[in-house]
Amino acid sequence: MNADTFSLAAEKRSTARPERKLLEKEGRVLGVVYGYKIDPVPISLGSSELLKVYRRAGQSALINLQLDGKTIKVIVKDLRVHPVRQEIQHVDFFAVSMTEKTYVTVPLEFVGESPAIRDDEGVFVAEHRELELRCLPSDIPSKFEVDLSAMENIGDSITVDSLKLNPEKYDLVSVEPDSTLCLVVAPREEEPEEVPEEDVEPELVDGESSEEGEEGKEGGDEKKDTESSDDKKDEDKKE
């Protein structure tokens, strides 16, 4: 369970375009909260406050959202970031019931040192970096630690069931207990560079290249043919 408690203050906002633009100029992030026993409500939040909380809470921690004098238990469901400025543009909060299981995405943290990577120069491959599951909000973990020291040889892997998740608390989504989280593979061998055909030197024959030899042979044949023709003419004249 994530023992940290996070709080954020939000304000209701208008959906009119001019007011939205004004809020953005003031450094406010537009968002919406919806979910358990609450109709979708457009809200705005301070960008710096939201960023600080999100860096610590991510999408796997409960947040106490203060709105209109009430506290709503929410998790971050979706967050959009500007591709260039890397600023949060929009955020969706999902209100949860403390007595019903909800879907949540929990990050994986790879810890420890693998002997296969350290000693055998194996290459680390992560098949998953987060897990989606269902659990009660009070049981949401901040992360799952994956100990890489268990991978001693190239070819070793770590599966979901190595996390020893309590099946009564956590329902796996999209993965099976025997699904691979990470593994160590052999380093890739570099393939020799192929030399282009035009760069290949002609094979030498008797001190000359094969091309020169062919040319010389052809030239010699032509010379013999010429000499034979001249001899025949001389014989005809004598007769």
* pLDDT of 239: 45
* pLDDT of 203: 55
The H or E element containing residue 108 is strand 102-111
* pLDDT of 58: 83
Q: Which residues pair with 126 in a beta bridge?
A: 182
- Reduce the DSSP state of residue 110 to 3 states and report it: strand
- CATH code reported for the domain at 98-188: 2.170.120.20
* pLDDT of 193: 67
| Residue 147 backbone dihedrals phi, psi, to 5 degrees | -85, 110
Sheet containing strand 6-9, edge to edge, reads 6-9, 63-67, 70-81, 88-95, 28-35, 38-46, 11-12
What's the rounded Cα separation, in Å, for the pair 234 and 83? 92
What's the rounded Cα separation, in Å, for the pair 76 and 93? 5
Q: What is the dihedral of CA 40, 44, 46, 48, to 10 degrees?
A: 60
Q: Would you say 148 and 114 are in contact if contact means Cβ atoms under 8 Å apart?
A: yes
The DSSP result for 24-92, as a single string, is: HHTTEEEEEEEETTEEEEEEEEEHHHHHHHHHHHTTSS-EEEEETTEEEEEEEEEEEE-TTT--EEEEE
* pLDDT of 57: 84
CATH tag for 1-96 (out of 3.40.640.10, 1.10.357.140, 2.60.40.1510, 2.40.240.10): 2.40.240.10
Where in the chain is CATH 2.170.120.20?
98-188
What's the rounded Cα separation, in Å, for the pair 218 and 7? 93
* pLDDT of 196: 63
Q: Is the pTM of this model over 0.75?
A: no
pLDDT in tens, 23-78: 988 989 999 999 999 999 999 999 999 999 988 888 888 999 999 999 999 999 99
Where in the chain is CATH 2.40.240.10?
1-96
C-beta neighbour count of 141 within 10 angstroms: 20
Pairing of strands 208-209, 6-9: unpaired
Positions in the chain whose pLDDT score sits under 70 = 1-4, 190-239
* pLDDT of 113: 95
* pLDDT of 56: 86
* pLDDT of 93: 95
